[in-house]
């Protein structure tokens, strides 16, 4: 593939016996972007990453990652980085020792020192270089994990739910690190089930039960949704919820804070809804997108 493409697969799948964990997956990821792989726990996100990183052989299909064929897993591993919440950062080693250990696996001896120093500076880890990894907070430990994954300057970095368990401030800081990496040309393939994190990605793929449901920018995915979405402000939430659900043309309703959110087939329902409270039209969220594709009406949306 051309350098503008970081990942390309054709009908890549994984089966265990008769169980299809990943249905035939055809996916193209551009270089130098943050690509979000969105899905609930058990959707197949980690299995996909393990195939794309050369760790798990696919049952069928082909693909290339960073210009290397998945049929040559060692070539793939040399061009990528991988980090997740449970990745191997050794607690009894210092920050510098962890990064140096990983650098020595990929780089020539004379290149290890400069690469380690550059990585510590790049990720803001230099001041912690002599601290044991076990002494770091969750957010800084994740920075260290990413540092060990990028010290050899991979073309593609896989981050498997990297912010799981982090507080909001640490999550925001870690996303700053992720964008800094793409600014230097690294493609970051990140899995998440946080909808607010999905909004930060430049392109998304939605996965459920091992099936790729949709792919596009967040704006494209929202624009493709059928129906119209409204917010109803009312002091009588429960009553308004039941009344909205009973209306013809309403396909969904739920409570968010002090409002009832409503999905209708078209704008003709607005006149009736306005009788139930203060009505305004709202933009679909990525949660709306995912529920529409992965929910009970998924086959209708995909059609």
pLDDT computed for residue 259 by the predictor: 97
At 25-69, the pLDDT tens digits run 999 999 999 999 998 888 999 999 999 999 999 999 999 999 999
Q: Can 5-222 and 226-283 be said to share one CATH topology? A: no
pLDDT computed for residue 95 by the predictor: 97
pTM as predicted: 0.89
User: Contact 51/76 with Cβ under 8 angstroms?
Assistant: no
At 132-185, the pLDDT tens digits run 999 999 899 999 999 999 999 999 999 998 888 788 888 899 899 999 999 989
pLDDT computed for residue 87 by the predictor: 64
pLDDT computed for residue 85 by the predictor: 65
At 189-218, the pLDDT tens digits run 999 888 888 999 999 999 999 999 999 999
What b/e string do you get for 225-237 counting C-beta neighbours within 10 Å, with b at 16 or more? bebbbbbbebeeb
Domain residue spans in the chain?
5-222, 226-283
Tokens 């919440």, residue located = 85
pLDDT computed for residue 3 by the predictor: 77
Number of other residues whose CB lies within 10 A of the CB of residue 281: 11
CATH topology of domain 5-222: Rossmann fold (3.40.50)
Region 281-296: what's the mean pLDDT? Answer: 86
pLDDT computed for residue 194 by the predictor: 83
At 75-120, the pLDDT tens digits run 999 999 999 866 679 999 999 999 999 999 999 999 999 999 999 9
pLDDT computed for residue 40 by the predictor: 86
Region 232-241: what's the mean pLDDT? Answer: 96
Number of other residues whose CB lies within 10 A of the CB of residue 81: 25
Reported as type and span, the H/E element at residue 106 is: helix 95-106
- The CATH number for 226-283, chosen from 3.30.70.100, 1.20.120.450, 3.60.15.10, 3.50.50.60, is 3.30.70.100
Sequence-separated (6 or more) residues with CB below 8 Å from residue 6: 29, 30, 31, 32, 65, 66, 155, 156, 187, 189
Reported as type and span, the H/E element at residue 11 is: strand 5-16
- Does the pLDDT value for residue 2 go beyond 50? no
Task: Compute the distance between CA of residue 147 and CA of residue 122 in angstroms, rounded to an integer.
Answer: 9
pLDDT computed for residue 166 by the predictor: 83
pLDDT computed for residue 193 by the predictor: 83
């Amino acid at each position: 593939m051309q350098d503008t493409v970081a990942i390309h697969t054709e009908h890549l799948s994984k089966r265990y016996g008769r169980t299809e964990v990943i249905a035939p997956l055809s996916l193209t990821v551009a270089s130098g972007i943050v690509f979000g792989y969105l899905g609930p726990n058990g959707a197949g996100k980690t299995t996909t990453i393990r195939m794309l990183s050369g760790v798990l052989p696919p049952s069928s299909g082909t693909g290339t990652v960073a210009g290397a064929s998945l049929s040559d897993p060692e070539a793939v591993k040399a061009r990528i980085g991988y980090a997740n919440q449970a990745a191997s950062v050794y607690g009894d080693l210092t920050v510098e020792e962890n990064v140096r250990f990983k650098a020595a696996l990929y780089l020539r001896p004379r290149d290890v020192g400069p690469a380690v120093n550059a990585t510590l500076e790049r990720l803001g880890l230099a001041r912690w270089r002599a601290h044991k990894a076990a002494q770091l907070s969750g957010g800084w430990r994740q920075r260290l994990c990413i540092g060990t994954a990028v010290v050899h300057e991979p073309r593609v970095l896989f981050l498997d739910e990297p912010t799981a368990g982090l507080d909001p401030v640490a999550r925001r800081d870690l996303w700053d690190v992720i964008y800094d990496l793409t600014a230097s040309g690294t493609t970051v393939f990140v899995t998440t089930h946080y909808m607010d994190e999905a909004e930060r990605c430049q392109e998304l793929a939605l996965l459920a039960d091992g099936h790729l449901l949709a792919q596009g920018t967040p704006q494209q995915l929202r624009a493709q949704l059928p129906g119209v979405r409204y917010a109803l402000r009312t002091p009588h939430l429960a009553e308004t919820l039941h009344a909205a659900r009973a209306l013809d043309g309403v396909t969904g309703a739920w409570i968010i804070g002090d409002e009832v959110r409503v999905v209708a087939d078209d704008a003709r329902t607005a006149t009736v809804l306005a009788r139930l409270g203060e009505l305004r039209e709202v933009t679909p969220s990525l949660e709306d997108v995912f529920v529409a594709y992965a929910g009970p009406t998924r086959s209708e949306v995909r059609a």
